Amino acid sequence: MKATTLAELARASLNRRIGVTLLLGFSSGLPLALSGSTLQAWMATLHVDVSTIALFSLVGLPYSLKFIWSPFMDRYVPPFMGRRRGWILLTQLALALILVAMAVTDPLTDIWRMAFLALTLAFASASQDIVYNAYFTDILRPAERGLGAAVQAGGYRLAMIVAGALVLILSDRIGWRASYLLMALLMLLAMIPTCFGPEPATEVIPPRTLTEAVMKPLRELSMRRGALGLLSLVVLYKFGDWFCGPLTNVFLIEGLHFTATDVGLVNKGFGLAATIIGVFLGGALMARLTLFRALLCFGMLQAASNLAFYALALIGHHYGAMVAAVAVQNLAWGMGTAAFIAYIMALCDHRYTAFQFALLSALDSVSRVLLGPPAGLVAEHAGWGALFMVSVLLALPGLVLLIVLRRRIGETEFRNAPGSA
């Protein structure tokens, strides 16, 4: 266990690097709903047909494909504010201008213009995510990674509440145009912490060509000792959660016959609060744990938390049991997320953080996408209890691999630390 005192933890919580990570996490999370669910709600209030609204879900593709252009942001350096902050500032300015353009566009009469603006917003937002993830990976020290991951996730989810629930409430009072203009103003204000954020302690030389920006980070990852295992852990660590997580709402509504209001209040509202508490608790505990121990302890909690939903499947329609299951699962998921983000940060080489972080995040999303169909088959043919029990079993390979890789993870934790080069 690390010899980290409570005083040191408090100082880490209040330092400039953590503060900027929190504020820019808010900036990173703000545009997501504004090009997705919130925009779809705006169109629904104008009675745009459902098939057209459903097509707007495709504007989210840049978030899944962002690793494709991430090498560009490693290779080229803006002529102001450094390699990372310069790109963040440019994307924030672009996002603010696009939000203004969306505010003055009528989705009912200019649907194709709105579709183009929404796609452009998602592209600029995904680009901000690329460089922001690279930035906080570059500036945070190893002992700060857990707490940094927590404040990043907390800021991101707070922004989703603002861009989701708050904008919906404001739209009934000041209208959609004014609500989107207010979000554009918030994005402009987010440029302030970008301007005053610290530069990474270690100065690196960017790749000289785009080919080098792609090939060298791939080679650097593949040539490490235990590379296959380290990369496999990225895919397997949340395997169990990705198996059952997307079907949780369906289970509560179709399987146990809770109302949509019940699920919205508990699984979305209360569950989100539990997740935020979980990531902050996980981040605080990580200041006193090695990366391996945090991954192992929180990974075991993740796996065990799915047993709470297995128990709920046996109990049936019981409001108190649902609240308890949601609390346990989301708290554990948040703690596991803090450790997992810290692990991805540790894997990144600071010369290629933008590409490697985006690529590793894409690897994690593979299991989230591929596990949906088999999960549905298990629930349909074997029942909901079987779904959650299988999710526990699917978490075990990742935990076993984690134990096998204990020494490699210990080496990885500090090999790319800021200032270590």
Q: Which CATH architecture has domain 211-415?
A: Up-down Bundle (1.20)
DSSP H or E run through 334? helix 319-347
Higher pLDDT, 97 or 411: 97
> How would DSSP label each residue in 193-221?
HHHHPPPPSS--PPPSSHHHHHHHHHHHH
At 22-65, the pLDDT tens digits run 889 999 999 988 988 788 888 888 888 877 877 777 888 888 78
Among 52-56, 122-126, 146-150, the range scoring the smallest mean pLDDT is 52-56
pTM score over 0.75: yes
* pLDDT score of 132 more than 70: yes
Let me know the angle formed at the C-alpha of 309 by 304 and 314, rounded to the nearest 5 degrees. 120
Place of tokens 């945070």: 140
Q: Where are the domains positioned within the chain?
A: 6-200, 211-415
Nearest partner of 291 among 181, 417, 151, 178, judged by Cα? 417
d(CA 344, CA 233) in angstroms, rounded, equals 10
Q: What is the pLDDT of residue 420?
A: 43
Nearest residue to 206 (alpha-carbon basis) of 30, 352, 320: 352
Taking each helix axis from N to C end, the angle separating 353-370 and 111-139, rounded to the nearest 10 degrees, works out to 120
Matching CATH topology for 6-200 and 211-415? yes
Q: What is the pLDDT of residue 145?
A: 80
Alpha-carbon torsion 346, 348, 353, 356, what sign? negative
**Rounded Cα–Cα distance for residues 268 and 274 (Å):** 10
List CB contacts of 24: < 8 A, sequence separation 6 or more.
Answer: 88, 132, 135, 136, 155, 190, 193, 194, 197
Which are the contacts of 421, defined by CB distance < 8 A and separation ≥ 6?
Answer: 202, 204, 350
Higher pLDDT among residues 252 and 299, named by residue:
299
* Count of C-beta atoms within a 10 Å radius of residue 194: 24
Q: Which CATH superfamily is domain 6-200 in?
A: MFS general substrate transporter like domains (1.20.1250.20)
pLDDT at 28: 92
% of the chain residues with pLDDT over 90 = 38
pLDDT band at 10 (very low <50, low <70, confident <90, very high): low
Please say if the pLDDT value at position 6 is more than 70.
no
Per-residue pLDDT, 369: 65
User: Among 159, 157, 172, 201, which residue's Cα sits nearest to residue 17?
Assistant: 201
What is the per-residue DSSP string for 238-305?
THHHHHHGGGHHHIIIIIT---HHHHIIIIIIIHHHHHHHHHHHHHHHHTTS-HHHHHHHHHHHHHHH
Judge contact between 202 and 421, C-beta under 8 A: yes
Please list, residue by residue across 33-52, b when 16 or more beta carbons sit within 10 angstroms of its beta carbon and e when fewer do: bbbbbbbbbbbeeeebeeee
User: Dihedral of the CA atoms 259, 262, 265, 267 (nearest 10)?
Assistant: -90
> Could you give the count of Cα atoms lying within 13 Å of 25 in the half-sphere of its Cβ?
22
The whole-angstrom separation of Cα 115 and Cα 123 is 12
